[in-house]
Chains A and B, each alone.
Chain A
Amino acid sequence: DAKTTQPTSMDCAEGRAANLPCNHSTISGNEYVYWYRQIHSQGPQYIIHGLKNNETNEMASLIITEDRKSSTLILPHATLRDTAVYYCIVRVGNTGNQFYFGTGTSLTVIP
């Protein structure tokens, strides 16, 4: 599975959009991009995943560049409860394989 690179930490003002970048320059054609977050010491929470098209759900939007070498997770209106560590993971889709969690981005939403 491809390696990902994320900034260690980010701040975002409450109510503003939080844009979390992820580089995955060695991604292969059949690998999906997944995003999870971990709030404090809870179990990771699934956010969204995609292959090549942009995706949107009730939690977030995922923008994947045309060459698929990077992506951005967008939380449109960040709240204090969005403070968490966000993990970007790439994995061959629907294979059941493990997820490789890196160190993620620690997002702090500031009042």
Chain B
Amino acid sequence: NAGVMQNPRHLVRRRGQEARLRCSPMKGHSHVYWYRQLPEEGLKFMVYLQKENIIDESGMPKERFSAEFPKEGPSILRIQQVVRGDSAAYFCASSPRGAEQFFGPGTRLTVL
């Protein structure tokens, strides 16, 4: 059973461009979470989704950030008009029933 997969692993964008981060949960997992980690800090929750539904987006910035988890395909975290402060590692986690979460390797976003 493959683990949580994220791609790309590294993403470089210029200010003002869009960033799309993908997360494929473990097989059979219907809960997906996105976290952001700034350098030298712990992970900060962003959003929690189940198939086609956003359950909790209390950690998402109000502007420029959006997330989806469609019926088919991976979950997508989208950042529009990126700024330097968006540079961070973005981790996705999945869970079969909302208890323990299994994390992917992360996407390192660098905004030039």
The A contact surface, by secondary structure, is loop
Q: Is the CB of B100 within 8 A of A49?
A: yes
Chain A's interface size range is: 20 to 34
| Chain A proximity of B13: nearest CB distance (Å) | 19
- Which residue of B31, B59, B100, B106 contacts A43 across the interface (Cβ within 8 Å)? B106
Interface residues of B in 4-62 (CB under 8 A from A): 4, 31, 33, 35, 41-45, 48, 50, 55-56, 59
- Complex: A18 Cα to B55 Cα, angstroms: 38
Contact A103 B98 (CB under 8 A): no
> Across the interface, do A44 and B100 meet the contact criterion of CB distance under 8 Å?
no
Q: Which residues of A pack against B, CB within 8 Å?
A: 34, 41-46, 49, 87, 93-104
Which residues on B are within 8 Å of A, measured CB to CB? 4, 31, 33, 35, 41-45, 48, 50, 55-56, 59, 89, 91, 93, 95, 97-106, 108
